[in-house]
């Protein structure tokens, strides 16, 4: 009985996936996942990403957000060729190379990875940090809420260490237990805070994104030489 129900669920998911307009668009436009369109909508809503910036993509695998950043930094919006800007992608998982994107594999909380990141940044503060990180969910609400909160807290801590005073963080969160505390964390950390659920997020998904702009006084990294 359980197996039959599981097969129905799998068939329904496959049907939704194959008929999803964002999946079709990703295949047509060469993005590694439909997630690229979530960042695209957020960028278009808040005008966060511009050529010439320094961007860090946390939890970057499989790479759709890095691909979107790459195209925004390319003079013609191209997937290859000249690049006006710096993109550093980090993940503990493997990452298929993207032209012009520097990938650092490992946990960004570890000293070795932090040192490699510092070397790549070479003293430059970061314009934008994006994080599509999500934990493996257990189905136990209290446990899952704690895992989600932990990843958001890590992204905020990272952003406050590296962002310019006017820099921005885009971070995945989930509605449910603990969400209001994450909004409070953002409001305590950034001058402007905007929640957004892109149309590209599935209707059934509890995911939303928190955008924090301008680390609060004393929390941003001053630009070197200024």
**Rounded CA gap, 129 and 169, in Å?**
5
The answer to whether residues 134 and 33 touch, using CB atoms and an 8 Å cutoff, is no
Whether 203 has a binding-site annotation, put simply, is no
Whether 127 has a binding-site annotation, put simply, is no
Whether 57 has a binding-site annotation, put simply, is no
Angle among Cα 113, 150, 196 to the nearest 5 degrees reads: 105
Active-site residue, selected from the candidate residues 24, 38, 172, 216: 172
Whether 111 has a binding-site annotation, put simply, is no
Whether 13 has a binding-site annotation, put simply, is no
100 Cβ contact partners less than 8 Å away, ≥ 6 residues apart: 70, 73, 83, 87
How far is C-alpha 182 from the geometric centre of its chain's CA atoms? 16
**Rounded CA gap, 93 and 61, in Å?**
7
7 part of the active site: no
Residue with tokens 């958001």: 152
The count of other CB atoms within 10 Å of the CB of residue 215 is 24
DSSP state letters, 135-201: PPP-S-HHHHHHHHHHHHHHHHHHHHHHEEEEEEEEEEEESSTTHHHHHHHHHHHEEEEEEE--TTS
Specify binding-site residues for S-adenosyl-L-methionine: 63, 65, 91, 107, 132
Residues labelled as active-site residues: 172
Instruction: Specify binding-site residues.
Output: 63, 65, 91, 107, 132
């Amino acid at each position: 009985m359980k197996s039959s129900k599981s097969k129905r669920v799998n068939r329904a998911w496959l049907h939704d996936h194959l008929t999803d307009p964002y999946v079709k668009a990703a295949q047509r436009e060469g993005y590694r996942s439909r997630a690229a369109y979530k960042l695209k909508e957020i960028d278009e809503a808040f005008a966060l990403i511009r050529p010439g910036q320094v961007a860090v993509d946390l939890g970057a695998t499989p790479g759709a957000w890095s691909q979107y950043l790459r195209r925004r930094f390319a003079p013609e919006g191209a997937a290859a060729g000249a690049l006006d800007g710096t993109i550093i992608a980090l993940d503990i998982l493997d990452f298929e190379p993207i032209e012009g994107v520097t990938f650092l594999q490992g946990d960004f909380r570890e000293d070795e990875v932090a040192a490699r990141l510092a070397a790549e940044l070479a003293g430059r503060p970061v314009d934008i940090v994006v994080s599509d990180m999500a934990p493996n969910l257990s189905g136990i609400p209290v446990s899952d809420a704690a895992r989600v909160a932990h990843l958001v807290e890590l992204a905020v801590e990272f952003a406050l260490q590296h962002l310019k005073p006017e820099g921005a963080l885009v971070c995945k969160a989930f509605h449910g237990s603990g969400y209001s505390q994450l909004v409070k964390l953002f409001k305590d950390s950034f001058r402007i805070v905007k929640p957004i659920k892109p149309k590209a997020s599935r209707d059934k998904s509890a995911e939303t994104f928190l955008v924090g702009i301008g680390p609060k006084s004393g929390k941003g990294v001053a630009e070197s030489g200024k």
